[in-house]
Structure 1
Amino acid sequence: MTEEKGDMQKSMIHPTAIIDPHAKIGPGVKIGPYAVIGPNVEIGEGTEVMAHVVIDGWTTIGKYCRFFPSASIGSEPQDLKFNGEKSYVTIGDYSVFREFVTVSRATGEEDVTSIGSHCLFQACTHIAHNCDVGNYVIMSNCAGLAGHVTIEDRVVIGGIAGVHQFVKVGRNSMIGGLAKVVQDIPPFVIADGQPARCVGLNSVGLSRAGIPENIRSELKKAFRILYRSGLNLGQAIAEMEQELDSSEEVEHFLRFLRNAERGICRGTKA
C-alpha cells in the first residue's frame, strides 16, 4: 500500500483482511474481518469496508462510503462479450452499499461503470457493467440494473424492480416495486407495472426536492400533453415547446424526450 505510515496508523484494518500491497488506502479507512482488497483499488478517506467485502478490479472509491458485509464491487462483468480487458468502476462520496450488493466493472477497454455520491443501494441490489448512476439515487432491496443503463440524479427504484439494458431513467422519477422497465422513463414521473407504465407526476418527490410550485405546475401540464392528449411523441414535444413556460426542469424534460433512443414508457389510460 502506498500510504504514509501516519495515514496507515489512522486507518483501522482488521488483521484477517487481505489487502494487496499495491492498493491505495486513504486515511481513516476501516476494513473489517476477511475483507479482500485487490491491487488496483483506491479507497478514499473515511470509507468503511465491513466483513467479507470483496473490492477488485480497477476500482476507485470516494470519501466516507460504507460497504456492508459480503458486498462485491469491481468484479468482472456478467457479460459474454467481456474478454479480460482493462475497465473501471468509479464511485463518488458518501454512498452506502448494503449486504450482498454487486457492482460489475465495465465491458470494453477503458470503459467505466460509474456511480455518483450520496446513493443508497439496499441489500442484494445489482449494478451491471457500463451503468451510469447519478447522485442521491436509492435502489430498494433486490432491484437490478442491466448493462449500459443510465440513472439520473434522485431516482428511487422500488424493490425487485428490473431495468432492461440501455434504458435511461430521468431524474427525480420513481419506479414502483416489481416493475419491469423496458423503455426510457422520463424525468419527474412515477412508473409502475409489468411492463412499466407512467402513472403520474412524481409530485411528492418534486416537492421534497424543492422544485417551486410554478415549475411543478408546468411539469404537470407537460405530463398531460405527453400522456393524455393523444398526440404522438413528436407532436407532444412541439406542443410543449409552444405551451410551456421555459425553466431548467422543463428544458431537461424536453431534452430527455428528444434523445430517448428506446422509446419512452407508455402511460396508462386517462
Structure 2
Amino acid sequence: MKNTFVHTNASLGVNITLGNFTTIEDDVVIGDNTCIGNNVTILSGTRIGANCQIHSNSILGGIPQDLKYRNEYTLLEIGNDNIIREFVTINKGTISKMKTLIGNSNLIMSNAHIGHDCIIGNNCVIGFSVGMAGEVEVGDWSNISGLTAVHQFSIIGEHTMISGLSRVVKDVPPYIMAANDPLQYLGLNLVGLKRRGFNSKKLEEIKAIYRILFQEKRNTKFAVQLIENEFEQTIERDKVLDFVRQSKRGIIKGYRE
C-alpha cells in the first residue's frame, strides 16, 4: 500500500484490502472483507458494509452539492455486497433526510453520480454515467441504464427497467419498462420479472392493470378507482395503486396516441 492514509479514528473490519494512494478519513466504518482500490477517497460520515468492492478513483461521502447544506452532521450508509465501479461519486445527506442510503447487492457502474439524500434499494443496477440528483428514491431490483439523468425528488418503483439516455422527470411505477423522450411506459419489464419468478398469470394481471392506468381517457384518479373495483386485492395491485396515489411529481406517460 503506497501512500495510503487511514485516519486513526476510522474503524476497519477484518480482511480489508486497500489500494495505493487511498484516503480514509475519520468517522468512517468499513465492514469485513471489503476491497478498496487505488486512489479511492472515503470521507467522514461514511459507513460501508461487508463484502463490498470499491473500485479505483471513487469518492464516497462527499459534501452535498446542495445550497441548503450548512455543514450539519450527516451520513452516507452503504450496505453489504455492493460493487461500486471506477470514478463513482456518492454524496452524504443533508438536513432533509440526514443520510444517503444504498442498500445491499447493488452494482453501481463507472462514472455514476448519486446525490444527497438518495435512497437506493437492494439488487439494483445503476448504469454507466447515470446522473442522479438529490432525494431520488429507487426501488429494489431496478435497472437504470447508462447515461440516464434522474431529476431530483423522482421516485423509481421496484422491478423497473429504464433504457439508456433517458430523462427521468416524473415518477416511474413498479414492474415496467420505460424509454423515449419524454419518458413513457413501453410495457412490463418481462425479462426481469420472469427471472425473479413472476409467472404468466401474474404478468397478465399486472399488464391488465397498466392497460387501464395508461389507456383510460378520463384521468388517472378515475383509472385508479377502476383498477381497485375490477381487480382482486393482490400485493402487486396494491403496490401499483399505492405508488400512483402517493406520487407527488406525477407518473410518466403511457402509450402515445
Q: TM-score range by the shorter chain?
A: over 0.9
Identity of aligned residues (%): 34
Alpha-carbon deviation of 1:72? Answer: 0.4
Query: What per-residue deviation string (whole Å, max 9, x for no partner) do you get for residues 21-71 of structure 1?
Result: 000000011111111001010000001110000000211111100000000
Query: Any gaps of 5 or more consecutive residues in structure 2?
Result: none
Aligned to 1:123: 110
TM-score for the superposition, normalised by structure 2: 0.97
1:203-242 → structure 2 map (5 Å cutoff): 203-242=190-229
Aligned to 1:102: 89
Alpha-carbon deviation of 1:198? Answer: 1.4
Alpha-carbon deviation of 1:109? Answer: 7.4
Residues 57 and 76 in structure 1, CA contact (< 8 A), matched pair in contact too: no
1:60-209 → structure 2 map (5 Å cutoff): 60-108=47-95, 111-209=98-196
Alpha-carbon deviation of 1:76? Answer: 0.3
Is 39-48 or 106-115 further displaced after alignment? 106-115
Question: Do the aligned partners of residues 110 and 38 (structure 1) sit closer, same or farther apart at CA in structure 2, a change above 3 Å counting?
Answer: farther
Residues 13 and 30 in structure 2, CA contact (< 8 A), matched pair in contact too: yes
Query: What per-residue deviation string (whole Å, max 9, x for no partner) do you get for residues 96-127 of structure 1?
Result: 10000000001117701000000001100000
Alpha-carbon deviation of 1:231? Answer: 3.6
Aligned to 1:5: none
TM-score for the superposition, normalised by structure 1: 0.92
Is 243-252 or 157-166 further displaced after alignment? 243-252
Match of 2:45 among 55, 58, 61: 58
Partner SS, residue 207 of structure 1: helix
Alpha-carbon deviation of 1:268? Answer: 2.6
Query: Any gaps of 5 or more consecutive residues in structure 1?
Result: 1-13
Partner SS, residue 218 of structure 1: helix
1:36 is the counterpart of 2:19: no
For 2:96 and 2:157, the matched residues in 1 are separated by 27
Which residue identity is paired with 1:213? Answer: S
Is 76-85 or 143-152 further displaced after alignment? 76-85
Aligned to 2:12: 25
Question: Do the aligned partners of residues 141 and 110 (structure 1) sit closer, same or farther apart at CA in structure 2, a change above 3 Å counting?
Answer: closer
For 1:160 and 1:192, the matched residues in 2 are separated by 13
For 1:194 and 1:104, the matched residues in 2 are separated by 28
Query: What per-residue deviation string (whole Å, max 9, x for no partner) do you get for residues 200-238 of structure 1?
Result: 111221111112222211100011001123241111111
Residues 218 and 245 in structure 1, CA contact (< 8 A), matched pair in contact too: no
Aligned residues, how many? 257
Which residue identity is paired with 1:75? Answer: G
Query: What per-residue deviation string (whole Å, max 9, x for no partner) do you get for residues 127-147 of structure 1?
Result: 000000000110110011100
Query: What per-residue deviation string (whole Å, max 9, x for no partner) do you get for residues 159-200 of structure 1?
Result: 100110000000001111010010000001111122211121
Aligned to 1:249: 236
